[in-house]
Amino acid sequence: MVDATTKPAGEPIVEVEGLVTRFGATTIHDGLSFTVDRGEIMGVVGGSGSGKSVMLRIILGLIHPAAGRIRLLGEEITGFDEAARSRRQRRIGMLFQDGALFSQLTVAENVAMPLIEHARVSTQTARRLAIDKLVLVGLKPADGDKLPSELSGGMRKRAGLARALAMDPELLLLDEPTAGLDPISAEGFDQLILDLNHALGVTVMLVTHDLDTLHAICDRVAALVDKQIRIGPIAELAQDPHPWLQSYFGGPRGRAALRASDDAAVRNAPMPTR
Protein backbone atom coordinates (compact mmCIF):
# COMPACT_ATOMS: atom_id res chain seq x y z
CA MET A 1 0.00 0.00 0.00
CA VAL A 2 1.40 3.39 -0.97
CA ASP A 3 1.79 5.80 1.88
CA ALA A 4 0.74 9.12 0.37
CA THR A 5 2.49 10.96 3.22
CA THR A 6 5.92 9.80 1.99
CA LYS A 7 5.55 11.77 -1.24
CA PRO A 8 5.86 15.52 -1.23
CA ALA A 9 2.99 17.34 -2.90
CA GLY A 10 4.36 18.24 -6.34
CA GLU A 11 3.24 20.94 -8.72
CA PRO A 12 0.53 19.87 -11.16
CA ILE A 13 2.03 18.68 -14.44
CA VAL A 14 -1.27 17.70 -16.02
CA GLU A 15 -4.04 20.28 -15.74
CA VAL A 16 -7.31 19.61 -17.52
CA GLU A 17 -10.31 21.88 -17.34
CA GLY A 18 -13.73 21.32 -18.89
CA LEU A 19 -12.60 18.57 -21.28
CA VAL A 20 -15.30 17.52 -23.73
CA THR A 21 -14.74 14.67 -26.19
CA ARG A 22 -17.15 13.66 -28.91
CA PHE A 23 -17.08 11.12 -31.70
CA GLY A 24 -19.85 12.17 -34.10
CA ALA A 25 -23.00 12.56 -32.04
CA THR A 26 -21.61 10.50 -29.13
CA THR A 27 -20.22 12.37 -26.15
CA ILE A 28 -17.50 10.43 -24.31
CA HIS A 29 -16.32 13.06 -21.80
CA ASP A 30 -18.62 15.86 -20.72
CA GLY A 31 -16.56 18.44 -18.87
CA LEU A 32 -13.68 16.64 -17.10
CA SER A 33 -11.53 18.77 -14.81
CA PHE A 34 -8.57 17.33 -12.93
CA THR A 35 -4.89 17.70 -12.16
CA VAL A 36 -2.06 15.19 -11.77
CA ASP A 37 0.89 16.24 -9.60
CA ARG A 38 4.54 15.67 -10.42
CA GLY A 39 5.72 12.37 -8.94
CA GLU A 40 2.21 11.01 -8.48
CA ILE A 41 0.92 7.62 -9.62
CA MET A 42 -2.69 8.13 -10.67
CA GLY A 43 -4.86 5.10 -11.42
CA VAL A 44 -7.67 5.53 -13.96
CA VAL A 45 -10.69 3.25 -13.75
CA GLY A 46 -14.14 3.11 -15.31
CA GLY A 47 -16.45 0.75 -17.14
CA SER A 48 -15.67 -0.56 -20.59
CA GLY A 49 -16.05 2.26 -23.12
CA SER A 50 -16.06 5.01 -20.46
CA GLY A 51 -13.22 6.81 -22.25
CA LYS A 52 -10.11 5.87 -20.27
CA SER A 53 -7.87 5.10 -23.27
CA VAL A 54 -9.26 8.08 -25.15
CA MET A 55 -8.29 10.32 -22.22
CA LEU A 56 -4.67 9.10 -22.40
CA ARG A 57 -4.63 9.55 -26.17
CA ILE A 58 -5.88 13.13 -25.80
CA ILE A 59 -3.06 13.88 -23.34
CA LEU A 60 -0.56 12.40 -25.80
CA GLY A 61 -2.05 14.51 -28.60
CA LEU A 62 -3.37 11.65 -30.73
CA ILE A 63 -7.03 12.68 -30.38
CA HIS A 64 -8.32 16.25 -30.36
CA PRO A 65 -10.98 17.12 -27.80
CA ALA A 66 -14.11 19.07 -28.78
CA ALA A 67 -13.56 21.56 -25.96
CA GLY A 68 -11.52 22.21 -22.84
CA ARG A 69 -8.21 23.58 -21.66
CA ILE A 70 -5.15 21.36 -21.29
CA ARG A 71 -1.87 22.40 -19.71
CA LEU A 72 0.92 19.81 -19.76
CA LEU A 73 4.33 20.04 -18.13
CA GLY A 74 3.87 23.77 -17.72
CA GLU A 75 2.88 24.35 -21.34
CA GLU A 76 -0.55 25.44 -22.51
CA ILE A 77 -1.70 23.14 -25.31
CA THR A 78 -3.12 25.40 -27.92
CA GLY A 79 -2.22 24.01 -31.31
CA PHE A 80 -2.73 20.46 -32.43
CA ASP A 81 -0.26 20.68 -35.29
CA GLU A 82 2.44 18.09 -35.97
CA ALA A 83 5.23 20.18 -34.36
CA ALA A 84 3.27 20.65 -31.12
CA ARG A 85 2.45 16.94 -31.00
CA SER A 86 6.06 15.91 -31.58
CA ARG A 87 7.20 18.32 -28.82
CA ARG A 88 4.73 16.74 -26.45
CA GLN A 89 5.68 13.18 -27.36
CA ARG A 90 9.30 13.92 -26.53
CA ARG A 91 8.33 14.49 -22.88
CA ILE A 92 5.54 11.91 -22.53
CA GLY A 93 5.98 8.14 -22.88
CA MET A 94 3.05 5.84 -23.57
CA LEU A 95 2.62 2.10 -23.19
CA PHE A 96 -0.33 1.14 -25.39
CA GLN A 97 -2.80 -1.57 -24.40
CA ASP A 98 -1.45 -4.12 -26.87
CA GLY A 99 2.20 -3.02 -26.55
CA ALA A 100 2.01 -1.66 -30.13
CA LEU A 101 5.45 -3.01 -31.07
CA PHE A 102 6.23 -3.27 -34.77
CA SER A 103 6.31 -7.01 -35.47
CA GLN A 104 8.88 -6.84 -38.28
CA LEU A 105 11.42 -4.84 -36.21
CA THR A 106 13.61 -6.28 -33.47
CA VAL A 107 12.87 -5.31 -29.87
CA ALA A 108 15.90 -2.98 -29.78
CA GLU A 109 14.83 -1.32 -33.06
CA ASN A 110 11.36 -0.77 -31.59
CA VAL A 111 12.78 0.86 -28.45
CA ALA A 112 15.25 2.95 -30.50
CA MET A 113 12.53 4.27 -32.80
CA PRO A 114 11.41 7.30 -30.70
CA LEU A 115 15.06 8.31 -30.26
CA ILE A 116 15.67 8.29 -34.01
CA GLU A 117 12.31 9.92 -34.76
CA HIS A 118 12.23 12.65 -32.10
CA ALA A 119 15.84 13.11 -30.91
CA ARG A 120 17.50 12.45 -34.28
CA VAL A 121 20.38 10.51 -32.72
CA SER A 122 22.46 8.13 -34.81
CA THR A 123 21.27 4.53 -35.22
CA GLN A 124 24.28 3.29 -33.27
CA THR A 125 23.70 5.61 -30.29
CA ALA A 126 19.96 4.89 -30.36
CA ARG A 127 20.68 1.16 -30.17
CA ARG A 128 23.01 1.62 -27.20
CA LEU A 129 20.43 3.73 -25.37
CA ALA A 130 17.71 1.21 -26.27
CA ILE A 131 19.70 -1.63 -24.68
CA ASP A 132 20.09 0.49 -21.51
CA LYS A 133 16.30 0.89 -21.37
CA LEU A 134 15.75 -2.85 -21.88
CA VAL A 135 18.02 -3.57 -18.91
CA LEU A 136 16.23 -0.87 -16.88
CA VAL A 137 12.91 -2.72 -17.29
CA GLY A 138 14.42 -6.10 -16.41
CA LEU A 139 15.13 -7.55 -19.88
CA LYS A 140 18.50 -8.83 -21.09
CA PRO A 141 20.57 -7.03 -23.75
CA ALA A 142 20.24 -10.20 -25.91
CA ASP A 143 16.43 -9.76 -25.90
CA GLY A 144 17.03 -6.68 -28.03
CA ASP A 145 17.90 -8.89 -31.02
CA LYS A 146 14.62 -10.83 -30.83
CA LEU A 147 11.42 -10.11 -32.67
CA PRO A 148 8.43 -9.17 -30.46
CA SER A 149 6.80 -12.51 -31.37
CA GLU A 150 9.72 -14.31 -29.70
CA LEU A 151 8.98 -12.72 -26.31
CA SER A 152 6.45 -13.82 -23.68
CA GLY A 153 3.45 -11.54 -23.00
CA GLY A 154 5.12 -10.15 -19.87
CA MET A 155 8.39 -9.51 -21.72
CA ARG A 156 6.49 -7.74 -24.52
CA LYS A 157 4.91 -5.44 -21.93
CA ARG A 158 8.37 -4.70 -20.54
CA ALA A 159 9.67 -4.01 -24.06
CA GLY A 160 6.73 -1.63 -24.63
CA LEU A 161 7.60 0.08 -21.36
CA ALA A 162 11.26 0.37 -22.43
CA ARG A 163 10.09 2.12 -25.60
CA ALA A 164 7.85 4.43 -23.56
CA LEU A 165 10.91 5.31 -21.44
CA ALA A 166 13.22 5.83 -24.42
CA MET A 167 13.08 9.62 -24.28
CA ASP A 168 13.38 9.80 -20.45
CA PRO A 169 9.82 11.15 -20.19
CA GLU A 170 8.55 13.19 -17.27
CA LEU A 171 5.09 11.67 -17.68
CA LEU A 172 4.33 8.02 -18.36
CA LEU A 173 0.91 6.96 -19.67
CA LEU A 174 0.22 3.25 -19.23
CA ASP A 175 -2.85 1.61 -20.74
CA GLU A 176 -3.72 -1.58 -18.87
CA PRO A 177 -0.08 -2.58 -18.24
CA THR A 178 -0.92 -5.75 -16.29
CA ALA A 179 -3.83 -6.99 -18.44
CA GLY A 180 -3.29 -10.58 -19.53
CA LEU A 181 -0.39 -11.18 -17.12
CA ASP A 182 -0.43 -13.97 -14.53
CA PRO A 183 -0.64 -12.65 -10.92
CA ILE A 184 3.10 -13.05 -10.24
CA SER A 185 4.13 -11.26 -13.45
CA ALA A 186 1.51 -8.57 -12.73
CA GLU A 187 2.96 -8.05 -9.25
CA GLY A 188 6.46 -7.82 -10.75
CA PHE A 189 5.24 -5.22 -13.24
CA ASP A 190 3.58 -3.19 -10.46
CA GLN A 191 6.85 -3.22 -8.53
CA LEU A 192 8.74 -2.13 -11.65
CA ILE A 193 6.42 0.87 -12.10
CA LEU A 194 6.83 1.79 -8.45
CA ASP A 195 10.63 1.48 -8.69
CA LEU A 196 10.73 3.67 -11.81
CA ASN A 197 8.50 6.23 -10.11
CA HIS A 198 10.77 6.32 -7.05
CA ALA A 199 14.10 6.17 -8.91
CA LEU A 200 13.34 8.49 -11.83
CA GLY A 201 10.61 10.62 -10.26
CA VAL A 202 8.46 9.95 -13.32
CA THR A 203 4.77 10.81 -12.98
CA VAL A 204 2.44 7.98 -13.98
CA MET A 205 -1.15 7.85 -15.22
CA LEU A 206 -2.24 4.28 -15.47
CA VAL A 207 -5.47 2.84 -16.82
CA THR A 208 -6.26 -0.44 -15.15
CA HIS A 209 -9.03 -2.84 -14.21
CA ASP A 210 -6.66 -4.48 -11.73
CA LEU A 211 -7.75 -3.68 -8.17
CA ASP A 212 -4.53 -5.14 -6.75
CA THR A 213 -2.51 -2.66 -8.84
CA LEU A 214 -4.63 0.23 -7.58
CA HIS A 215 -4.08 -0.74 -3.97
CA ALA A 216 -0.40 -1.59 -4.41
CA ILE A 217 0.95 1.46 -6.25
CA CYS A 218 -1.57 4.26 -6.86
CA ASP A 219 -1.56 7.43 -4.78
CA ARG A 220 -4.98 8.50 -6.09
CA VAL A 221 -7.59 7.04 -8.39
CA ALA A 222 -9.64 8.79 -11.09
CA ALA A 223 -12.92 7.09 -11.97
CA LEU A 224 -14.74 7.88 -15.21
CA VAL A 225 -18.45 7.49 -14.59
CA ASP A 226 -21.41 9.04 -16.41
CA LYS A 227 -18.97 10.93 -18.70
CA GLN A 228 -17.60 12.74 -15.62
CA ILE A 229 -14.52 12.19 -13.44
CA ARG A 230 -14.30 11.53 -9.70
CA ILE A 231 -10.87 11.60 -8.08
CA GLY A 232 -9.50 10.70 -4.68
CA PRO A 233 -7.58 8.18 -2.62
CA ILE A 234 -9.08 4.67 -2.93
CA ALA A 235 -10.54 4.80 0.59
CA GLU A 236 -12.44 7.95 -0.36
CA LEU A 237 -13.72 6.66 -3.74
CA ALA A 238 -14.77 3.38 -2.12
CA GLN A 239 -17.17 5.41 0.05
CA ASP A 240 -18.67 7.17 -2.99
CA PRO A 241 -22.33 6.14 -3.27
CA HIS A 242 -22.27 6.03 -7.10
CA PRO A 243 -23.55 2.52 -8.06
CA TRP A 244 -20.60 1.75 -10.38
CA LEU A 245 -18.06 2.70 -7.70
CA GLN A 246 -19.99 0.75 -5.08
CA SER A 247 -20.02 -2.43 -7.15
CA TYR A 248 -16.39 -1.94 -8.29
CA PHE A 249 -14.84 -1.37 -4.87
CA GLY A 250 -17.48 -3.14 -2.76
CA GLY A 251 -17.89 -6.30 -4.90
CA PRO A 252 -16.13 -9.58 -4.07
CA ARG A 253 -12.94 -8.68 -6.02
CA GLY A 254 -12.83 -5.18 -4.53
CA ARG A 255 -13.21 -6.53 -0.99
CA ALA A 256 -10.54 -9.22 -1.58
CA ALA A 257 -8.08 -6.62 -2.92
CA LEU A 258 -8.74 -4.38 0.09
CA ARG A 259 -8.18 -7.30 2.50
CA ALA A 260 -4.92 -8.23 0.73
CA SER A 261 -3.67 -4.64 0.90
CA ASP A 262 -4.63 -4.35 4.61
CA ASP A 263 -2.77 -7.61 5.31
CA ALA A 264 0.30 -6.29 3.46
CA ALA A 265 0.13 -3.04 5.47
CA VAL A 266 0.06 -5.04 8.73
CA ARG A 267 2.98 -7.25 7.58
CA ASN A 268 5.05 -4.18 6.62
CA ALA A 269 4.22 -2.14 9.74
CA PRO A 270 7.16 -1.57 12.13
CA MET A 271 7.14 -3.76 15.28
CA PRO A 272 5.84 -1.83 18.27
CA THR A 273 8.55 -0.97 20.83
CA ARG A 274 7.91 -1.40 24.53
Ligand X SMILES: Nc1ncnc2c1ncn2[C@@H]1O[C@H](COP(=O)(O)OP(=O)(O)OP(=O)(O)O)[C@@H](O)[C@H]1O
Residues at the contact surface with ligand X, assessed by CB under 6 A: 23, 28, 46, 48-54
CB of 24 to ligand X, least distance (A): 7
CB of 223 to ligand X, least distance (A): 11
CB of 92 to ligand X, least distance (A): 17
CB of 36 to ligand X, least distance (A): 17
Nearer to ligand X, 58 or 112 (CB): 58
Residue 242: burial class (beta carbons within 10 Å; 0-12, 13-18, 19+) = middle
Rounded Cα–Cα distance for residues 217 and 190 (Å): 7
Nearer to ligand X, 92 or 131 (CB): 92
Residue 249: burial class (beta carbons within 10 Å; 0-12, 13-18, 19+) = buried
What are all long-range contacts of 176-179, with beta carbons under 8 Å and residues at least 24 apart? 176/97, 176/207, 176/208, 176/209, 177/95, 177/206, 177/208, 177/213, 178/208, 178/210, 178/213, 179/97, 179/208, 179/209, 179/210
